[in-house]
Amino acid sequence: MRLLGNILWILLGGLFIAIVWALVGLVLCIIIIGIPLGLQCFKMATLTLTPFGKTVDYGGGIGSTLVNIVWVILVGWWMALGYVAAGLVNCITIIGIPFGLQSFKMAKLALWPFGAEIRNL
């Protein structure tokens, strides 16, 4: 089921979104001060490419929390809002519910990426 879900996800836009995340990460890494943000974009690209069969573990210390607060204020809230909107649209139909759940998983990561690790199930 994971393989089928990931194939459908990639064909229906996941590849495009993952490429955009990776490009944004590359641009941020070119600017030396943007490297920490670029690494978070690569994390989002990884999850966005194949979300089925992956989980996100949240952790980190006070440093991650402080950086996440800045992230939320600057960009995290509107990225998470976009993923929540996509998740709600997907959940309108029964067939779209698994894709909506993946969008909600990405919304949480888009909101709070520092200190999070993506793991395979």
Number of structural domains (the chain) is 1
The mean pLDDT values, 10 residues at a time, for the chain of 121 residues are 90 91 93 91 92 92 91 90 94 93 94 93 87
**In which domain, by residue range, is 111 found?**
2-120
pLDDT digit string (tens) for 33-58?
989 999 999 999 999 999 999 999 99
**DSSP class of residue 11?**
I
Report the length, in residues, of the chain: 121
**DSSP class of residue 76?**
I
What mean pLDDT, rounded, does the chain reach?
Answer: 92
φ/ψ region of 115 (left if φ > 0, alpha if ψ in -120 to 50, else beta) reads: left
**Cα–Cα dist 7/91, whole Å:** 19
pLDDT value, residue 68? 92
